[in-house]
Structure formats: C-alpha cells, structure tokens
Structure 1
Amino acid sequence: MPIRHSIIHKIDKKPDGSPAVLHVSGTELAESQVTENLLHDLNEAYNAKTGKGWGLFHAESGAYPFSGWLRAYVDGGDFIEFSRVAVEHLTKLMEESNLSVGGHVLFAHYQQGMTDYLVIALLQHSEGITVGADLSDTPSKHLDFGNINLAARINISEWRSNPKSRQYVSYLKGSKGRKATDYFRDFIGCQEGVDGPGETRTLLKAFSDFVTAEDLHEDSAREKTQALVSYSMAQAKIGEPITLDELSELIDEDQPKMFADFIRGKDYGLSATIPADKKTLNKFRRFTGRIDGLSISFEQHLLGSKIEFDEAGGTLTLRSLPTQLTDQLKRAVACVIDDRIEAHNS
C-alpha cells in the first residue's frame, strides 16, 4: 500500500465551551513501517465499521469548498497546504456545531492496487499501560482505532475518471449522533448518492428471485448463497464495492453472465457496483429443504415474521403468501370442491 503523502494535525476542543485550538503540522509523516502500520490499522478499523454512507461531492461552492481544494492538490498542488486549509475549515465547522469532540486529524493519500484514495479521520486517544525495561509500569496513550466515529474515504481515481459515479465517497455515519455526522459530511462536501443497506437488500432480493426462477436444487442454492455471501463480505472487509459481473462469475462458473443478465433483465435498478453493507449481509441466510414433492426455501430474516416454526409439532406457518401461489391454491381448492359435489350427486 504505497503512501504518497500523510500528515496529522491536532484540534484541541474541550467540553467547557472554550474555543477550539488548532495545532497545524508543517511536516508530513515520515515513510516508515510505523506510518504504514498506522494506515493499515486505520483502514482495517474503517472497513469493519457498519452503517457507512456512500455518496458524491456537492457542486463546489463557498459552502462546500473541499472538492475544489482536493482538485487543486491532485492537479499538482502542495499536500501540506491542502491539508492545512482543509483542517482549518474543519475546525471552523466544529466550532459552529458547538461540539466538544477534538482529536488528531489524519490526512493520508495512498494507493491500493491501481486506485488512489484519500482518507481523513478524526482520531482519539485511549489510556493504556506499558511495561518498561526495568519491569515498571508506566501510563501511556495510544490511538484508539476501535473508537473511530468521524472518518471518510474518497476514491480519487473513480472521482476523476467517472463523473457519473454516485459512490466515490464513503463516510461513517457514526454513533456520536446525527449532528456530528452532518458537520463532518458538510466538511467533506458530500451528499448521499447510494443507499448501501437498501442496495444490498435489493441484491439479496434479486438473488432470491433468481434461485426461485431457476428452481435450483437445495444443494446448488446453498452453494451459490455461500459464494454470494463470501464474496460480498470479502469486499466489505477491504472496503471495496460488490461488482455485479464478478459476483455473477462466482455464482456460476459455467454460465458466468447468467445472474448478471437476470438482474439486468428485471427492474431492480441496481448499478454495476454495489456498496456492500455488512450488517445486511450478516442477516442473510437461506433455509432450504425438499421431500416427497415438497420444496421449501426462504431467507433467515423471514423467520419469526412471515414464517413461524413450531419445533414440537414439526410445522411451519406461512403468512403473506405470494399472490400467484394464493390464486393457484384457490383454483385447486375450488376444483376439489367441485369434484366432491359431482361425486355426491352421482
């Protein structure tokens, strides 16, 4: 993961209402294993966070100047100057929001594969204990990557090469409340472009429809479900979106375009790349079974809502049946009644 530039500034903001004090660094972080470990740990913590937002920049304006500063830097500007102007703007917004959350602000421009990224994160310290060479214990502070609530990652390559993209910025929605998230999102100048959980749910719905349409055997359905979940979770782990064509190839190596063509042939409204929402994926699992002409297949999240399982009686109770199935059952029951009436009259 080559790091092109990285720097840390500090914002002192106390809960007593006193003005924030900005400490600007004039030196980039040195190229070292420590810096690489810092960025690696940050990315792992960021990728592990659930509840991310995905979007794009607002049009550059006085209210949203960040994209203009970033463009000037990417076009050959000075990284330290870019980070200084940006962190001053962040401090101003922090003051206006009357929040008491300060910390160290990391700016890092790095390359992963062929893609350039910029990550910005507000990092907090946590207290710890270290043992010295003389075996004495000493208080110490370290960056708390498990407590990141304000951070964003910009896919610079996609932003510059694909103007129509609506998901080149990801950001944490955080647990500090909507006000904190909003001021940080305003700092980035980002608007929500894609509903990650909604897109993931739609993808899973499309997959369920695909399994039903193809009338897959339960073993095949289970295998394809595992392929979908494993790939999607792996993408979420590295902070990359689900690519529909890649997923389609994994689901069926013999017919690699089959699932992708199924989705494109229906009105699901999914794009070629889909943000992977881990929380939604964690809830997805299919239960399948087949015996004596009876085939049952449903998703885990339906258990307890539309489907009730009576373990003692060995029965399933289904609610909200599909209209098509209900119509078929009505016709079948009507035929049975007619046959009984005819048999009785004869």
Structure 2
Amino acid sequence: MSIKHAIVHQLISNTAVTLNLREEELMSGEQLTELMNHTKSAFYNRSSKQYGQFAEEAGHFKALTQQWQAGGIGFTSLTTQLMKQLQLEIEEQKLETEGHWFFALETLESGDNFWFFHLKHKDGMMLTHDMNLSDARLIDFAKLGFGGYVDLTAMKNNEQKYLTVSFGFGDRVLQSALLNFVNFVDTINTAEDTDRFLEIVKAYSEALPQDKGSNYRKKAIEFCTEQDKLGETVVAEEMATVLKDEVGTEGPETLVTFMETREPEAKREFIPNRASLKKFQRYTGKTKEVSISFSNEILGRNVNFDPASETLTISNLPANLLKQLKSVVGDGD
C-alpha cells in the first residue's frame, strides 16, 4: 500500500466559518485507494499546473511540514494545524468556500509525496439497503478544487522544484488566499521552456530532408504530448533516441548535438506545457464572423499564406463545407 497516511477535514465559509476536524486517520482499503487514484488522475489531466517551492520567508505550511518530517508532530496534528491556518486566510479575506480537504502521504520508489486536495461535491441519488430512494452527496472529481503535492525527497535535497499546485473549477476568487496558504513561489516557466525546445526541434527538422523533417517534427510533438499526459518530463536524449528509430534519421548530427551547437544553454529536460504544445500542432484564430483552425502540417500545401497581402488561400476543402457553399451558390442562381 503506497498510502501511508490519509485524512479529511471540512471547511465551510458563507455567513460564518465552520471548521470540522477529523480526529483519526482514514483506514487503508480499496475506497481510500480509489479516492487517491481519482484525485491524482484529475490533477495530472490539468493543463494549468504551476511548479516551484516554498517562499524563502518562513510560512506556516513550510514550517509545519518540516516539523512533521523531523518527527516533532504527527500527521493528524499537521493537517489540523494546516486547516486552522487555511481558516484564518479565508476569514481574513472574507471569502466563501465549502467542501472537504483531503491530505495523504504517498510513498513510492522515487520518493515521498505529501498530497493535498480540495474536494467538492454534487447532489446525487442512491438506493438504500432496503431499496428506498435517498438523496446523496457525491465527490465531484470533474470539479476537483485546488490541489497539489510536496515532493518531500526533493525538498530535503534542496532542489529548485518540489512543490506543484493547480487551481480547479471556480477557484479564481480563492487564488490569492490559497497561494498564501501554501507559501508558493513559482520557479519554473514551463511555457517558455516548451516554446524554446520546440523552436529547436523545428530548426533541426528543417535541416533534415523534407520528407523526414516534417515527420520528425510531428513525432516530436506527439512524444511531448504523451509525456504531458503521463505527468512526466521530456528528456531530449530519450526523445532523440526514440525518434531516430521511428523516423529513421541518419547522420552524425542528432537533435542533442544540434542543441549543443545551436542552443547550448537550452534545457535538455523540461516539463511540457500543454498550451504551448497546442500552438505547435495547430494554427487557430477567430473573430465574430470567422473561425479558422488547421494543422501546421498543411501550411504551404493545402493552405498558403501571403504575408504581403495578409491572405490565406485554402484548397482541398472539407466535403461538408463544399456542399454547403455549393448549395448557397446554387440558391443564388
């Protein structure tokens, strides 16, 4: 069992603030494992994660976590004191919120992670044991709130990135209070890292024979996208090896040696940014009257752009669009 400790508490803030604290940890079992898996899956599927660490100045979240790691307090005491600190943040900014907070320590081969999630609910219906209908309150994993984790091993080793957070559905007004609560400082710009790496991939693919170059770029974006889905980093050497086998690029210069020559300061390992990946997959734009989206692979083939006149020429139109256009022209005649 990878979950060593787990507990939930409840915080409700509307006309008054109510804090309901659980005194004992949750029992291990299938339901706890399922809760952990659902929350982690929802978290990993988000595109808006932020990566960093605790602020240099001492904060309650950082201080309590370190005290817990040193054996000064237990897990239940840690989470109880964290909830009291969150209550103060919510009261101070006069914010409204409700739901349960789930805390868990997960031990893996790669290290220990301290997870925290704001669980929100939705109304449902259930059949009781005597087969009567009854109202029910269900955890709404599709609208998981603010959450994240502390990589305790990385924190102990004083690494630059050990705290990952992400906001959920309806968290906009709570953002300031929640970031204060966890003492978060952003140390990594994933969009900047991804943009720079993909520009290097683009330059490298343009140096390859045309048929292999376009395929290489496509496969590179697919590789990065798959790593993002898995919640993993992109490692340039690993990607270069995989794509050499898939695309069949030959020659003395690999992507890695190309990077060393052209962009020696660029990161060889980075966290992919989903929004940046989409920019390199498709060109999109819209006004009130027009919406256009097409794969970057067909630019220069089925879609041609004239920068002088700022016009697009599109050939090989979709069959359903052609049918609509011909119908309109036919009606006009």
Counterparts in 2 of 1:244 and 1:190: CA distance versus 1, 3 Å: farther
**3-state SS in 1 of match to 2:115:** strand
**Separation of aligned partners in 2, 1:257 and 1:284:** 23
Shift of 1:147: 0.8
**Separation of aligned partners in 2, 1:304 and 1:4:** 61
Shift of 1:313: 9.5
Equivalent residue for 1:129, pick from 107, 125, 128? 125
**3-state SS in 2 of match to 1:129:** strand
Q: Is the 8 A contact 1:127 1:141 kept in 2?
A: yes
Equivalent residue for 1:279, pick from 275, 279, 289? 275
Which residue type is aligned with residue 222 of structure 1? N
Structural mapping, 1:252-263, within 5 Å: 252-253=244-245, 258-263=254-259
Partner of 2:198: 204
**Count of residue pairs brought into register by the alignment:** 298
Partner of 2:288: none
**Separation of aligned partners in 1, 2:306 and 2:113:** 42
Q: Is the 8 A contact 1:245 1:257 kept in 2?
A: no
Which residue type is aligned with residue 48 of structure 2? G
Structural mapping, 1:229-248, within 5 Å: 229-248=221-240
Shift of 1:281: 2.0
**Separation of aligned partners in 2, 1:138 and 1:248:** 57
Equivalent residue for 2:100, pick from 91, 101, 104? 104
Partner of 2:326: none
Say whether residues 1:141 and 2:141 are aligned partners. no
Shift of 1:267: 3.9
Shift of 1:65: 2.5
Shift of 1:36: 0.5
**Separation of aligned partners in 2, 1:268 and 1:130:** 60
Residue deviations 1:234-284, cap 9 Å, x none? 332233322333223323258899323333443475434322222332343
Residue deviations 1:172-194, cap 9 Å, x none? 14453554122111111111111
Q: Is the 8 A contact 1:52 1:196 kept in 2?
A: no
Say whether residues 1:45 and 2:39 are aligned partners. no
Which residue type is aligned with residue 47 of structure 1? Y
Which residue type is aligned with residue 50 of structure 1? S
- Structure 2: gaps spanning 5 or more residues: 282-294, 318-333
Please, what TM-score do these two structures have when normalized by structure 2?
0.78
**Separation of aligned partners in 2, 1:305 and 1:5:** 60
**Separation of aligned partners in 2, 1:245 and 1:112:** 25
Which residue type is aligned with residue 10 of structure 2? K
Shift of 1:215: 2.4
% identical equivalent positions = 16
Partner of 2:67: 72
Deviates more, 1:178-187 or 1:37-46: 178-187
Deviates more, 1:77-86 or 1:260-269: 260-269
Equivalent residue for 1:192, pick from 168, 179, 186? 186
Partner of 1:151: 147
Counterparts in 2 of 1:264 and 1:104: CA distance versus 1, 3 Å: farther
Which residue type is aligned with residue 313 of structure 2? D
Please, what TM-score do these two structures have when normalized by structure 1?
0.75
Say whether residues 1:217 and 2:210 are aligned partners. yes
**Separation of aligned partners in 2, 1:75 and 1:249:** 42
Structural mapping, 1:87-102, within 5 Å: 87-102=83-98
Partner of 1:8: 8
Q: Is the 8 A contact 2:5 2:75 kept in 1?
A: yes
Q: Is the 8 A contact 2:117 2:148 kept in 1?
A: yes
Shift of 1:219: 4.0
Q: Is the 8 A contact 1:206 1:268 kept in 2?
A: no
Counterparts in 2 of 1:257 and 1:275: CA distance versus 1, 3 Å: farther
Counterparts in 2 of 1:311 and 1:231: CA distance versus 1, 3 Å: closer
Q: Is the 8 A contact 1:232 1:276 kept in 2?
A: yes
Shift of 1:103: 1.5
Aligned-CA RMSD value: 3.2
Q: Is the 8 A contact 2:143 2:168 kept in 1?
A: no
Residue deviations 1:32-65, cap 9 Å, x none? 010000000000101111222111111142xx23
Equivalent residue for 1:56, pick from 47, 53, 72? 53
**Separation of aligned partners in 2, 1:118 and 1:170:** 11
Counterparts in 2 of 1:180 and 1:193: CA distance versus 1, 3 Å: same
